[in-house]
Amino acid sequence: MPKTRKPNPKSQKQISNDLVNPYVNPETGETRGNPNIPSNFDQFTANEQNGVGFNRSNELSFKGDTVKPFTIGFEDIDETIMYYFKNVIRPTVIQNGNRLAVPVIYGSPERWKSTQKDGYYKDKKGAIMAPLIMFKRESIDKVRSIGNKLDANKPNLYTSWKKVYNTKNAYSNFDVLNNRIPTEQFIVNVIPDYVTINYTCAVQTYYVSQLNKIVEAVNYASDAYWGDPERFKFMATIDSFQTPIEISDNSNRVAKATFSLKIKGYIIPDNIQKQLVAIKKFNSKSQVIIGLEVEGVGSEFLTTQAKRPPVVFPGNPSEAVSASPVNQATVTYLNSNTSLDGTYVSDDTATFPAGWLTAPSGFPATSVSDFAFYVNGVLIDSANITSFTQSGGVSTLVLNTVALGYTLSATDDITAIGKFNV
C-alpha cells in the first residue's frame, strides 16, 4: 500500500507567493515571474534586486488597465484614410440606374504594380474594376520645427494626461470623514516625431460623370482632419487633381483621376529604447494628515487642517459630514514656540523679558519642561537646571554650574525656546 504523507502546512510567505500571478508585458510579451522567489532573480537586474538607482514606484503595471501603452504608427495613419473614405466621404456613383458605393482599397505593391503597368486595376479574371479608389503611401518627410524629444536613447520631454478614474480612489465613508485627498493617475507619453506623409490616390470609373462626383466629394473633404473621432485624426490636404481618360486594348474607355494627399501626423514607435527609459504611468502624491494628541486630564484630538465643505448624501439631504468645532485658544497654545534671547545676570543666572502662557483647561500647568535652553548654541540638559521661574513679566533661569562644568559670562549667547507670553 502507498504510504500516506504527513501534511506540510505552507507558511504565510509561501501562500502569498502562490497568489502572485506572473505579469505578461503587453508590449514585449515578456514574462519575468515573481521577484520575491529566488529562482526568478536572474530575470531582474542587480539594480532592480537591491533598489540602488532604481525607482520601483515608476514601474506601474498595465495589468487590468483599459488604457494600453500609447503607440501610433504608419498603419494607424493609413487606417484613418480608409475610415474617412468609407464613413465620412462615402463616395457613390449611379450605374444602370442604381446607386453603388465605391470600394476603397490600399495599394499593396502587387496591386500598384498592376495598375501602373496596365493603367488601371483589374480583378483576377482580367476585368477592369470600376468604380474604384486606391491609395498608396509614397514618402515620409520629418518635420523638425514642431517638437523634439532631445535624445532618442534617453527621451527628456514627455506629455501626460490624467485618467478620469483611479482604482485607488474607491469611495468610502472613511475617506470622507478623514478628509482624504484623492490621488490622481497620469499616463505619460514621449514627445512624438512629427511627420508629413505623402500618399498617391487613384480613382477609376467607366464614365466621366461618375468621376466628377467622386472628385468633387474628395476635393470638398480637403483641408480637414481625417480619421476616426474615437481614435486619431490628422490634417489632410489635396493640392491638385489629374483627370486623364484612357482606352484599354479591348476599346473600353476608363476615366481616371490621380491626386496627391498629404497627411500631417506624428509617430510614437513601439521600440525597445522607449520601453527601457520612458516612464509610462505614475500616481500623484497622496496627502497624509497627522493630528496632534495631547495627554492631560483627558485625551483631545486636534488638527489645524482646513476641512472640506459638508458632504450631502443623495439619499438624505439632511445627512452631512462636517468638522467638529476646534478651540482656537487651545490650538494657539499648542502651536506656540517662541524664541527669546536672555540677559546675563551672574555666573549661574540669566533672565528673559517675558512671562509664560497660561495652559488651557485640562492641560498641565506651564513649567520648565515646556522650554529648551541653549548657551552658545549648545542645548542645556534639564538635569543641569536648578530652577526656571516667572514674576512680573520676567522669567529667571538658574543653572547648576557645578554639574554644567562651566559658568556663564556676559559674552555668552543665551537663548530660550518655549511657550513665552509675548
Task: Dump pLDDT digits (tens) for 232-247.
Answer: 889 999 988 887 766 5
Cα(327)–Cα(324) distance, rounded to whole angstroms? 10
The pLDDT value recorded for residue 402 is 87
Give the number of other Cβ atoms within 10 Å of residue 388's Cβ: 21
Q: Which residues of 245-280 are buried (b: 16+ CB within 10 A; e: fewer)?
A: eeeeeeeeebbbbebebbbbbbbbeeeeebeeebbb
214: pLDDT strictly greater than 80:
yes
Cα(79)–Cα(76) distance, rounded to whole angstroms? 5
Considering 39-48, 70-79, 311-320, 348-357, the range whose residues carry the highest mean pLDDT is 348-357
Closest CA to 232 of 210, 263, 206: 263
Cα(189)–Cα(110) distance, rounded to whole angstroms? 37
388: pLDDT strictly greater than 90:
yes
What does the pLDDT look like over 111-153, one tens digit per residue? 766 666 666 677 667 677 778 888 888 899 988 888 776 677 7
Q: Give mean pLDDT, residues 165-178.
A: 68
Residue 414 exposed, middle or buried by CB count within 10 Å (0-12, 13-18, 19+): buried
What does the pLDDT look like over 53-76, one tens digit per residue? 555 556 666 666 666 667 888 888
How much of the chain exceeds pLDDT 90, in percent?
17
How much of the chain exceeds pLDDT 70, in percent?
62
198: pLDDT strictly greater than 90:
yes
Residue 109 exposed, middle or buried by CB count within 10 Å (0-12, 13-18, 19+): exposed
Do 131 and 92 form a contact (C-beta atoms < 8 A)? Answer: no
Higher pLDDT, 51 or 164: 164
Cα(6)–Cα(86) distance, rounded to whole angstroms? 69
Q: From residue 375, give the alpha-carbon distance in Å to each of 18, 131, 220, 344.
A: 61, 98, 86, 11
Q: Give mean pLDDT, residues 150-160.
A: 71
DSSP β-bridge partners for residue 186? 162, 282
Cα(264)–Cα(145) distance, rounded to whole angstroms? 13
Q: Give mean pLDDT, residues 84-99.
A: 88
In the chain, CATH 3.30.2000.40 sits at 74-145+192-267
Question: Which pairing describes strands 193-205 and 311-312: parallel, antiparallel, or unpaired?
Answer: unpaired
What does the pLDDT look like over 254-264, one tens digit per residue? 788 889 999 99
Q: What is the CA radius of gyration of the chain?
A: 39
Cα(248)–Cα(251) distance, rounded to whole angstroms? 5
Question: Which pairing describes strands 281-283 and 343-346: parallel, antiparallel, or unpaired?
Answer: unpaired
Q: What is the mean pLDDT of the chain?
A: 75
155: pLDDT strictly greater than 80:
no
The pLDDT value recorded for residue 305 is 45
The pLDDT value recorded for residue 131 is 85
The pLDDT value recorded for residue 178 is 63
Higher pLDDT, 11 or 325: 11
The pLDDT value recorded for residue 7 is 53
346: pLDDT strictly greater than 60:
yes
Tell me which of 3.40.50.920, 3.30.450.20, 3.30.2000.40, 3.30.9.10 is the CATH number of domain 74-145+192-267. Answer: 3.30.2000.40
Question: Which pairing describes strands 420-421 and 355-356: parallel, antiparallel, or unpaired?
Answer: antiparallel
Cα(286)–Cα(183) distance, rounded to whole angstroms? 6
The pLDDT value recorded for residue 291 is 59
Do 212 and 102 form a contact (C-beta atoms < 8 A)? Answer: no
In this structure, what DSSP letter does residue 128 have?
B
0.95 exceeded by the pTM? no
| 87-96, 318-327, 404-413: segment of lowest average pLDDT | 318-327
The pLDDT value recorded for residue 399 is 92
What does the pLDDT look like over 266-317, one tens digit per residue? 888 776 555 555 567 777 766 655 555 555 444 444 444 444 444 443 444 4
Specify the 3-state DSSP secondary structure of 179. Answer: coil
Q: Give mean pLDDT, residues 179-205.
A: 82
249: pLDDT strictly greater than 80:
no
